[in-house]
Structure 1
Amino acid sequence: MIAGPQPLVQNPPIPGGNNAIVAGQNVQIHANNSLWIDVNMAKPGIPTAMFSWSLPGGETVNAGETSGRLQVHNNGTLVITNIGLGDEGDYEVTASNSDGSDSITSTVIVLSYRWNTVWSDCSATCGPPGTQSASIFCINVKSGGTVVDDSNCQHLNRPELPSPRPCVPDNSPCPEPPMIFKADPLVQQYQGFTIDAGQNVSIHQGQSLRVNARIVGGVPDPSIKWTLPDGSKLGPGETSNGVRVTPNGALLINDVRRSDDGTYTVTATNSQGTDTASTTLKVLRE
């Protein structure tokens, strides 16, 4: 007959040693250790009992046999070396002779923690290289890497914290506000003319005028709007009363009239900011 102690869950034994319990006791043990489960016979039995162990996967190992990292001694003691998560479960020992048999079970819970080094995101998301810094956490391997209190890894050597390392962003341009190139203001008289936003011009009726909006930079790409002398607004591809804005943001008046007199303001806007430039048009009489 096997003497069975009251089942209990032992505290995790000191890793690296041979940790022993008695059949009928339950144990928590850290992975990569060895475990001994002794069989305490209340009565040895006559004739002498033979021992066999049923493993969590259903395999049976008899006294004197070895199965991988598991061995059963002739006295019934079960030894598991380099224990792992796959060894978790119920271990039942049976002692039997010609007069009968008796069994008792121990439950083995395998704890698996390790130190894990995690690198931060790159300090630079665009433009020149940045740096990454490291942090070290204790994780529970069984739960898929959940971060746990460092005390669970105190039996393991904590790795040294690596020094920060350089990192390269994805080479995308950094966000920046748009800027409109502003030419020096001038007043000129021409039969037809192309100027840059920020310049002023005098032109005869019936002639044409193109005012370029030269956007310098701007990430993400800015939107462009022209405000006309009457307060109306035009975007690229839009037309109003003979005034048209091209797809690239230039202002076109193909047949200048006296009513076109006034100030035309272009505005470039993105999430980082806004810039404006104004051109004053004076329409000359014939």
Structure 2
Amino acid sequence: MLALNTRIQRFEVHPNGSLIIRNTQLLDRGQYLCTVQNQYGVDKMMVTLIVLAQKPQMLQPHDRDVTAYLGDSIKIPCQAHGFPTPRISWIMPDRAALQSAGSEDQRVALLGNGSLHIRSVSFTDRGIYKCTAGNTAGTDSLSVRLQVLALPPVIQQQSRENITYCYENALSKACKHFKHYTNLFMLISSFDPRIKVFNNGTLTVEAVTEKDEGDYLCVARNKMGHDYVLLKVSVMMKPAKIEYKQLTNQKVSYGGALKVDCITSGLPNPEIKWSLPDGTMVNSIMQSDDSGILVTAAPVIKNKTYNTVRVPYGESVSLSCSAKGEPIPTVTWFSPTNRVIAHVSEKYKVHNDGTLVIQKAQRSDNGNYTCTARNTAGQDRKVSRVEVLVSPPTINGLKNVVNIVRQTAFKDRPTLLDCSAEGMPVPRVLWILPENVVLPSPYSGSRITVHRNGTLEIRFLRKTDSVELICIARNEGGEARLVVHLDVKEVVELQKPQLKNPRAETMLLIIGKAMSLNCTFEGTPTPEITWILPNGSPLQHGSLHIQNPTVSEAGTYRCMGRNPAGYSERTITLELVRNPEISNKYNTIMNTVYGENILLHCLSNGNPPPKLSWTLPSGVVLTRPQRMGRYMVMKPSNKIGTWKTQMELSVLNLMWNFQSPKQSFHLHVMMFLNLSVEIRLNDGQGKRCVEPVIRANGVY
């Protein structure tokens, strides 16, 4: 209990009632109660103090080996990050401790950056050095094993030597040298498990192949110098060959035995395989008594096509790997880091049928998983990719990473600040109050509560609560923030927002033509108007003006009016306008027989639906079906524009009666517009008796 003008160690209360805590520590976190009283009553205020701290974490590996040459100087780094800044100390092999920085002139000194500096290294400096980083939140440490090398090596073999080995035999060659064997380095081009180097310097290569042929260099090196020997290896090989080939057909009685010789030679000994009619592969593996053969089949994995499996964050996923072969193949799974996956662990489980189950998928589980099926006859592999679905959080449906809203509340009344977070995985929600007070979800206090859905509830509002509050939602996909400017006003009569426009309206969007969307609310206090665009972006406006609109502006726009008394909403749908167009076009002249009926179609589309009209050759405009004249013009139109098409229609039936001494006949002629026709007739003796000429739009 501290009163005014009181100071106890790090705690002090000023005359104005402020509590001062100097050199804040983790033990200071908790709830502090401020009590004021006089003869008329008592009031109290509860303050929760959260002290931020981070446990130290080493930036170097926790275990490593360091080699130094006799007489050299060496610096062993040790760096860590944390809050507050960690203090670095070293423990020597003799258990002596270095806790404060010294000068580089000392033989063993702790530098300002945490590194350990040792000058003129000697054999007595060998051993394990331990570095510890600590602060009020905890400690972390690392160990370094220091080795000191000296004395020049000398290899006892001759500097050059040639050796010949048979294929698949073991190669073994000693590389002896003076002094300590631990100073020897073998330069080998691969990490083949067949290759081993012993402590005495001997190199062995099991089952030599043609790839092992070449130059081998043995090098011995230390601080004082180095020596080497070159070894040239030749591998003897002879290609496989089948002797006594017989290209004849073999016949065998049903139920009898078939024997076919296949004598081979080669170095190394060839492997003999027979392919049977059913596709089975038979290998010639002689038994101990040389009396039998073993039937084998290389593994085959079903459905080994590369595929991608998508799994929601935190869920389990199964990867199949069903393989057949003889003998039964062994299935092994490799992680994206190319490490063998154990059959049973907290993270993975491999079933007997080869199926891999990944439990509680995290982002680190993304990558390619390789299944390998192997037996004595061969191997097969399958690769499957896992993608863990993660989506960044959104707050209250707002798409931006940072969103700013204003909210009005009234004194002595409660208010709710929504912070509904969505994402995959489910985001964690916390509120940041003034003076960096952090409240997680859920949280329950005397006046402030954070509900499980992220809503912040403040009861008995004060004028001093007119502050900026920040809601933060985090998950594996990222972070989103909602900044709320809370304005606390005196109590007035509240009126819910009243919409002065239709609640739902559809408007036509013309590309390139500016347009305005109106949205008016009335209420007490004045409602705050927010537009939600079709892409989810918010805008603070009363009327929305769109300049030079494009196709992407089509969609549904939401206008929301909000005040402490309630909420109202209006939706406007913008539909893209399409010019009217006639879909059936007459590209040729329409023909009909005189006296017959003809039906002329006029099919059209557009938005809004167009109105159709017919214009006759006489100029008469028809809006309903009629029949007049020979020329017609179809003209569909809407509020946006007009589209025209023209067609020509001609009907003509002419008849002439001709009389001559020898014959009489009738002539029928059909005439089309835009066509000139001449018809010449004679009486059979080469004399013209009638010359009618038929031209467009008339008869002569």
Task: Tell me if TM exceeds 0.5.
Answer: no
Normalised to the residue count of structure 2, the TM-score between the two structures is 0.20
Higher relative contact order (CA closer than 8 Å, sequence separation 6+): 1
Structure with larger Rg: 2
